């Protein structure tokens, strides 16, 4: 894999406060292409933080995980689109009606901006195992649940999914070569799992079919975040055709 292609596959999860996030964005300039803004930063800083990252030249994955009644999510996605986010997440479990409303909101923003963000549906959180899934009333296996939600999202106009690396191959088979398949739960060899249950290395995730991998703490908590980022990119360059 070429260097720039590998850099474009790694989304750095800025799951921290704004001062640390900006320091990380500064440290990774010229290397990282994508920054993921999670709910901590969304509630701390709002759309202004996305705009700040866009001014620095980053593509922004706004991990808002919208999940509400269709009336609310249509307007929420439209509003979030005006921040300049390139990718926004919604919950696949919110129903076909909700997912179609999310797409309408993105399209309405495009009528004003000339383009819309991509949308990805959350399938099953990577922190969950089958025991946890059963405790919220879903008794079919994780793989089946994730595929069912992916199919629903695809049929509702959503561009792709967020899933664990374990489901990446089946998602790629289901959704085709051009769909987004974004995989959190990625840990370099030897890194701690933290609160993630379903994990893989960066190269394993991409070989399985991930279009992008999300990496947070192994980069953001490293003594040298840039060296940690470059090591992950190096693994992709060396190990992925």
Is 65 one of the annotated active-site residues of the chain?
yes
Is 238 one of the annotated active-site residues of the chain?
no
When pLDDT is averaged across residues 224-231 and rounded to a whole number, the result is 96
To the question of whether residue 229 is assigned a binding role by annotation, the answer is: no
pLDDT tens track for 15-51? 888 999 999 999 999 999 999 999 999 999 999 999 9
To the question of whether residue 196 is assigned a binding role by annotation, the answer is: yes
**Between residues 200 and 6, which one has the greater pLDDT?**
6
State residue 191's pLDDT score: 54
Q: Looking at 63, 86, 159, 230, which residue is catalytic?
A: 63
Q: Which pTM was predicted? A: 0.93
In the numeric block, the tokens 């690396």 are attached to 165
To the question of whether residue 216 is assigned a binding role by annotation, the answer is: yes
To the question of whether residue 217 is assigned a binding role by annotation, the answer is: yes
- Domain range annotation of the chain: 3-239
- List the CATH code of the domain at 3-239: 3.20.20.70
User: Which candidate, 231, 213, 184, 220, places its Cα nearest to that of 24?
Assistant: 220
Stated as kind and residue range, the H or E segment containing 215 is strand 212-215
Coil, strand, or helix at residue 181?
strand
Q: Looking at 8, 54, 59, 68, which residue is catalytic?
A: 68
Residue 79 confidence (pLDDT) above 60: yes
To the question of whether residue 7 is assigned a binding role by annotation, the answer is: no
Is 19 one of the annotated active-site residues of the chain?
no
State residue 188's pLDDT score: 81
State residue 2's pLDDT score: 95
User: Which candidate, 170, 189, 181, 156, places its Cα nearest to that of 77?
Assistant: 156
To the question of whether residue 205 is assigned a binding role by annotation, the answer is: no
pLDDT tens track for 86-131? 999 999 999 999 999 999 999 999 999 999 999 999 999 988 889 9
State residue 16's pLDDT score: 86
Q: Looking at 8, 44, 54, 65, which residue is catalytic?
A: 65
């Amino acid at each position: 894999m070429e260097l720039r292609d590998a850099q474009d596959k790694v989304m750095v999860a800025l799951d921290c406060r704004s001062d640390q996030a900006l320091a990380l964005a500064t440290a990774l300039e010229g290397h990282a292409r994508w920054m993921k803004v999670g709910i901590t930063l969304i509630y701390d800083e709002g759309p202004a933080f996305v705009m700040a990252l866009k001014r620095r030249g980053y593509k922004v994955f706004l991990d808002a995980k919208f999940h509400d009644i269709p009336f609310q999510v249509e307007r929420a996605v439209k509003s979030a689109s005006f921040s300049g986010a390139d990718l926004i997440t919604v919950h696949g479990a919110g129903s076909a009606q909700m997912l179609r409303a999310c797409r309408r909101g993105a399209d309405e923003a495009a009528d004003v901006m000339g383009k819309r963000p991509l949308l990805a549906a959350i399938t099953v959180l990577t922190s969950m195992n089958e025991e946890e899934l059963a405790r919220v009333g879903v008794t079919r296996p994780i793989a089946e649940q994730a595929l069912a939600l992916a199919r629903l999202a695809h049929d509702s106009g959503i561009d792709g999914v967020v899933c664990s690396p374990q489901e990446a191959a089946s998602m790629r088979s289901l959704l085709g070569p051009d769909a987004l398949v974004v995989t959190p739960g990625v840990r370099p060899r030897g890194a701690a799992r933290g609160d993630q249950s379903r994990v893989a290395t960066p190269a394993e995730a991409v070989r399985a079919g991930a279009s992008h991998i999300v990496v947070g703490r192994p980069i953001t908590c490293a003594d040298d975040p840039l060296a940690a980022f470059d090591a992950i990119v190096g693994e992709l360059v060396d190990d992925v055709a």
